[in-house]
Structure formats: C-alpha cells, structure tokens
Amino acid sequence: MKITFIKFLFLLSFCISSSMLAQDDVTQIIQKEYSYQAISGLDLDVDISDFLRINKDYSFQYQVDSIKAEGVWSIKENVLIFNYTVPDSLPELIRFFKIVDYSKNNLILSEGASIFQLSHGFSNKVNMFSFSINELFSPIVDRIGRVVFWDVSFGSYSNYVKNKLKKDIDSEDDPVFKIKLNEKLVKEHKESSSVPFIVLWLVFGAVFFTIKMNFINLTGFKHALDLVKGDYSDPKNKGEVSHFQALTTALSGTVGLGNIAGVAIAISLGGPGATFWMIVAGLIGMSSKFVECTLGLKYRLIDADGSVSGGPMYYLRDGLAKKNLKNSGKVLAVLFAILCVGGSIGGGNMFQANQAFEAVKGIFPSLSNFGPLFGLLFACLVGVVIIGGIKSIAKVTEKIVPFMAAIYVGAAMVIIVMHISDVGFVISKIVTGAFTPQAGMGGFIGVLIVGFKRAAFSNEAGVGSASIAHAAAKTKEPISEGMVGLLEPFIDTIVICTMTAFVIIITGNYQDVGGLSGSELTSQAFGSVISWFPYILAIAILLFAFSTMISWSYYGLKSWTFLFGKSKRSELVYKIIFMMFVVVGSSASLDAVVNFSDMMILAMAFPNIIGLIILSGEVKIDLKTYLNQLKDGSIKKYK
C-alpha cells in the first residue's frame, strides 16, 4: 500500500513536471513574429503585410485587415491569453486562444469557431531583427534628441500653442473644425511643440553669414550662373570634377524626399504660410552654403594622383590651427567626421533604400517580401558607381539630377498652368498665412518655426556635407566654388519645394490631410490632376534615393579616410559596409536607427557652424579680393 502511494506521487509529480516542461517549451517556441496565412470563421481580409508579434518581454502586437492591437500575453494549459491595452475609460479586454498546433515555424490558434493559421518565414526573421535593433537604439535616440532638439523656449512655446488653441476653439463656430481643433489640443498635450535649438542654430548661422558677406546670396547669384555655365572654367585647373558636376553631386545629396514629403508636412502642420518661411530660410541658407563651400575648396588636399580630399574636417583642423586653435580644431574635425560617417550609413543610405523599396511596393504589392533581393540589386547598382570614386559619381549625377528635376518641376508646371487663374490666390494664401495664419496653426511663431525647420532639413545649409563634393571642383579660386554652392538652396528649396507647395495649395489638397503621410499627400495632390503621376513619383523617389545614396557614400568615405587613413583597403572596407547597409535598409524598417542617423546629420551643424563663424573673416577678405580681380580682368572668361 505504501509502495503504491509512493508510485502514485511519483507519477503525479512526473506528469506535473512534464506539463510544466511542455508549457515552457511552447512559451519558448512561440516567441517570434508570424504572418497570417488564413483566418476562418471571421470576416477579415488577410494581407501580406499583416502580422502577429509575440515578444520575449511578454508583450504582443498584431495587425490584421484594418485592426491593430497590443497588450501583454501569458500561457496557461496550452491556452494563449491576450490581455489588451485599452483606454482607462473602457472595460478590461481579455481573449483566450487555444493552441491547436505549433512547431518551429508554424502556429495554429482557435477561438470558438474561428481558426487562425500563422507562419514564421524569412521576412518575419528580418522584422524581428529590426524590432530588436530599434528596441536597442530607442533610448539612445531619446537622449540624443533631447540635445539636438532641445527646446530653447523651456516649454513656454508649447503653453503658448495650447492657449492659442483654446482661444481658437472658443471662437470657432463650425462644429467639424471645432472637433479638429480639440484633437490638435489633445495631441499638443501628448507631444509638446518646441523651438528646437538645432533649427535656431542653423538660422542664426545663415543670418550671420548673409550680413557678414554683404548679402552674397543676392549679389553673387548672376556670377554663380556664369560659373556653372563654364564661362570661367580654366581647363588647366587642378581638381576632379567641373563646377556643374560638383553642383549636381551636392544637389543629389539634398534634393529628394525633403522636397516631396517635407513640403507636404510643413503645409499640413503650418498651413500655406509655412511655404513663405521655407523660401526665406532657403534665401538666407544660400549664404551658409557659400561660406562652407569656399572653405571646403580653400583647405582641400590634392594627392600626387590628383585625387582630392576636402570638407569641414580639413578646414576645421587646418583653418582653426591658423587661428591658434589647433586642439579645438582637431576635436571639432574628428567630431564632424564621426557624425558624417554615421549620417551616411543611416539617413544617406538605409532610409533612402527603405523609401525606394516602399515606392516599388506601392506599385507592385506582390513584391512586399522581396526587400532583401531588391536591396541586393540596388546595392550592386550603387556599388558600380561608387567604386569609381567622385568622377564616376559626378558623371551619373550630372545626368540624373537635371533629368529628375525636369520631370518633377515639369509636372508641377503643367498643373500650375492648368490652374493659372488661381496663382494669384495661392500667392495670397502663402503671404497672408505667413503673418496671419488660420486657427489651429500655432500662430505666427508656429508657422515660422515649421517653415524654417522643414527648409533646414531639406537643403542642409550649414550642415557642411556639400562642401565635401565642392572641394573636388576644377578651380584654383575658392570663392568661385562658394558662388556655385549658393545655388543649391535656391534650386532645392526656392524652386523645387515652392513648386511642390504650389501644387498642394492650388489643388486644394492642403485643406483635408486625412492622416496622409508627406509623400502620400504630394502624390494625391499631383494625382488629382495627372492620374498617372503616382507612377512618375515612384520613379522620382527611386532616382532621388539612388542619387542621394551615391553622393552620401562619397561624403562618408572622405570622413572615413580622414579618421582611419587613406588606403585602398580602408576605402574598400567602407564601401562594402555601405553596400551591406543598402540591403539592410531595404529589408528592415530600422526607424530608431534612421532617426539616430538623421540626428547625426543635423548635429554636424554644431562643429561646422562654429568653424564657419571663426573663419568667416578670412572668407570676407577673400571675397573682396576675388571681386576686385573680377572687375580688373585678372580673372578671365574662357567662353
């Protein structure tokens, strides 16, 4: 009897432990991302992008049809329990899913009569990888963001916006618009508006250089056009590319999604008036480009083989050394180079590859799971160009940039001509909206900040990246290349961004954004008049992304060799890393990594503008000498 009882206890403990081990086994195996293969018993349309993510931290997220949900999960007796995250005003929601079957790559769940069939494939592995990386980078991004986007108003601007919204709500008679204003107020409480230090820093630099250089953005414009045409190009001058090629290479690094999506975001946030301040920011930004491109060429190094190295790294190090600031110059130069390498990998590479694939998916949804293959092909195309160096890059950009700008601006001009009678109305909306914005736009200050912020992100004036490309120009006159450089913000912001704004306003699409993203709003605006334009926009995004990537690969390479030395092996290592991240960017949405990289690009303005201000005195002297030589004929025309 005693032995029988002991056997019973042994068997009971064995069963319990086996059950616990089985449950632990299930728990370990199902912790991954799945795609929905089929759902029976519910009226849901399963899409290739739908997913269920069961995380190791016991959180879950899923998206199926139009439903999105999240919460925490647990397992009890082969039942998967989902405890949903819901607003405090709603009752608790818990659902129980029986685990019918599971394996390494498959999971079948049931809930009543409903059956959910899920599988774990390669695309899910890629998404899990990106999710893990994002989780790692998110706290880093938050900390860096507090510095780069530090609110110089200490919260007072957000309070101003809240009070302004409350007044607008009280005075608004239209019930529909009143609801929209209330939604903006709720959003403002969650995500406080700010006056970012980085934007003020870029604007301060632009205003300072405009005044210091006697409004060179206006007085030097005609001569800049003559230089680009090649009127003053001496074929004997040392360098690797022409003025025009240097301009198109630098433009290809800035003209892109900032023009397509950035303008739409600015108008959706600040109304038509934001366009006015984007134009102003572009005008004064021309002066920043002039100073940095002048110094980039002045302090460049030309090797025995004729290859050129230049940019902020060199004028910060060598220029500040002449001012008895040798150590400070070295620190700023190294800081800039590190930031530039990071920026080239993320914002100049992964983000571009990701957006290019998104554009392809938009036209061919069936290719949604072929991100790695697309990335591999894109990496090969990028590799073919960048392995040839700046000469190869310049030959490609001098053809792509004018072509894609002509397509985009041409389509915009067609729409504007079709609505030519409304042009006066659009100009009126832009000007009046800049100083007396409509309700809900955060007042005059809000519109101004939005306009300046989007322009700064678009043309990168003061960031210093463009001076790396301009340093390779065939000229012995640094001022002449500075003149060419000032055309960039004009083309990028004043021409292309303004064209985008006109189309969005003239078609009326700015009035009801309806949750559209920046590029979607632009596509909708163009598509409302030219039905096939979304296809052209997809091609434009591909070309913009490709040209941006090859330009930023050059910026990153020059910063890399500044840090690690110039050798074929060192250059090859960087180029291989760069091409690997093209594949990663196409395959995964590493939002936190790209945000981190974007911050690095903007943070390049900190060391750069410090150096530009210190060296601006010698640029002014050089400018005066150059203009005198131009007058007395010392600088000759060759055409």
Can you tell me the mean pLDDT for 256-263? 67
Quick check: 421 and 560 in contact, CB under 8 A? no
Per-position DSSP letters for 599-618, written without gaps between them: HHHHHTHHHHHHHHHHHHHH
Residue 1 belongs to some domain of the structure: no
Residue 611 belongs to some domain of the structure: yes
Quick check: 383 and 583 in contact, CB under 8 A? no
> Same domain, yes or no, for 258 and 354?
yes
Residue indicated by tokens 């736009």? 441
Whole-angstrom distance, CA of residue 237 vs CA of residue 216: 25
**Reported confidence tier of residue 20, pLDDT bands at 50, 70, 90:** very low
> Same domain, yes or no, for 114 and 201?
no
Give the SS3 label for residue 105: coil
Whole-angstrom distance, CA of residue 608 vs CA of residue 343: 14
Residue 167 reports pLDDT greater than 80? no
585 CB neighbour count, 10 Å cutoff? 29
pTM of this prediction?
Answer: 0.77
Least confident of 162-166, 223-227, 344-348: 162-166
DSSP 92: P
| Domain harbouring 455, CATH code | 1.20.1740.10
Quick check: 533 and 500 in contact, CB under 8 A? no
Can you tell me the mean pLDDT for 318-343? 91
Whole-angstrom distance, CA of residue 54 vs CA of residue 26: 12
Taking phi over 0 as left and psi of -120 to 50 as alpha, with beta for the rest, 164 belongs to alpha
192 CB neighbour count, 10 Å cutoff? 15
Sign of CA dihedral 13, 14, 19, 21: positive
Quick check: 522 and 393 in contact, CB under 8 A? no
The gap from C-alpha 580 to its chain's centroid, in whole angstroms, comes to: 19
Residue 175 belongs to some domain of the structure: no
Identify the residue with better confidence: 112 or 192. 112
User: What's the pLDDT at 110?
Assistant: 92
> Same domain, yes or no, for 114 and 209?
no
User: In the predicted model, what is the mean pLDDT of the chain?
Assistant: 78
Can you tell me the mean pLDDT for 54-62? 89
| Domain harbouring 47, CATH code | 2.40.128.280
User: What's the pLDDT at 343?
Assistant: 84
Residue ending a domain, among 59, 88, 120, is: 120
- What does the pLDDT look like over 564-596, one tens digit per residue? 888 888 888 888 888 888 887 777 665 666 667
Residue 598 reports pLDDT greater than 60? yes
User: What's the pLDDT at 292?
Assistant: 92
- What does the pLDDT look like over 351-384, one tens digit per residue? 788 777 877 777 777 776 677 788 888 888 888 7
> Same domain, yes or no, for 76 and 223?
no
Radius of gyration for the chain, computed over Cα atoms and rounded to the nearest angstrom: 28
Identify the residue with better confidence: 21 or 262. 262
> Same domain, yes or no, for 210 and 299?
yes
Residue ending a domain, among 120, 137, 171, is: 120
**Reported confidence tier of residue 614, pLDDT bands at 50, 70, 90:** very high
**Reported confidence tier of residue 14, pLDDT bands at 50, 70, 90:** very low
User: What's the pLDDT at 507?
Assistant: 78
Residue 139 belongs to some domain of the structure: no
Give the SS3 label for residue 519: helix
Residue 206 reports pLDDT greater than 50? yes
- Look up the domain containing 261 and give its range: 196-632
User: What's the pLDDT at 498?
Assistant: 83
Shortest CA distance to 571 belongs to which of 411, 443, 392, 386?
386
Residue 499 belongs to some domain of the structure: yes
User: What's the pLDDT at 210?
Assistant: 93
User: What's the pLDDT at 291?
Assistant: 93
Whole-angstrom distance, CA of residue 62 vs CA of residue 175: 35
- What does the pLDDT look like over 436-494, one tens digit per residue? 665 445 555 667 777 777 777 677 788 888 888 888 877 788 888 888 888 888 888 88
**Reported confidence tier of residue 124, pLDDT bands at 50, 70, 90:** confident
User: What's the pLDDT at 21?
Assistant: 42
Residue 63 belongs to some domain of the structure: yes
Give the SS3 label for residue 387: coil
User: What's the pLDDT at 208?
Assistant: 93
Residue 502 reports pLDDT greater than 80? yes
**Reported confidence tier of residue 610, pLDDT bands at 50, 70, 90:** very high
Can you tell me the mean pLDDT for 123-142? 72
> Same domain, yes or no, for 407 and 294?
yes
**Both structure tokens of 71:** 């919460």
> Same domain, yes or no, for 240 and 353?
yes
Number of domains in the chain: 2
Residue 172 belongs to some domain of the structure: no
Residue 22 reports pLDDT greater than 60? no
> Same domain, yes or no, for 59 and 203?
no
**Reported confidence tier of residue 336, pLDDT bands at 50, 70, 90:** very high
> Same domain, yes or no, for 475 and 599?
yes
- What does the pLDDT look like over 63-91, one tens digit per residue? 888 888 899 999 888 889 999 987 766 67
Quick check: 533 and 526 in contact, CB under 8 A? yes
Residue 347 reports pLDDT greater than 50? yes
User: What's the pLDDT at 331?
Assistant: 94
> Same domain, yes or no, for 113 and 201?
no
Residue 266 reports pLDDT greater than 80? no
> Same domain, yes or no, for 227 and 89?
no
Whole-angstrom distance, CA of residue 168 vs CA of residue 183: 12
The contacts of residue 259 (CB under 8 Å, 6+ apart) are 408, 458, 492, 496, 497, 500, 544
Can you tell me the mean pLDDT for 152-170? 70
Residue 176 reports pLDDT greater than 50? yes
pLDDT cut 90: percent of the chain above it: 13
Sign of CA dihedral 551, 554, 556, 562: negative
> Same domain, yes or no, for 365 and 459?
yes
Can you tell me the mean pLDDT for 531-537? 75
Residue 60 reports pLDDT greater than 70? yes
Residue 116 reports pLDDT greater than 90? yes
Residue ending a domain, among 80, 97, 120, is: 120
User: What's the pLDDT at 83?
Assistant: 92
Residue 161 belongs to some domain of the structure: no
**Reported confidence tier of residue 16, pLDDT bands at 50, 70, 90:** very low
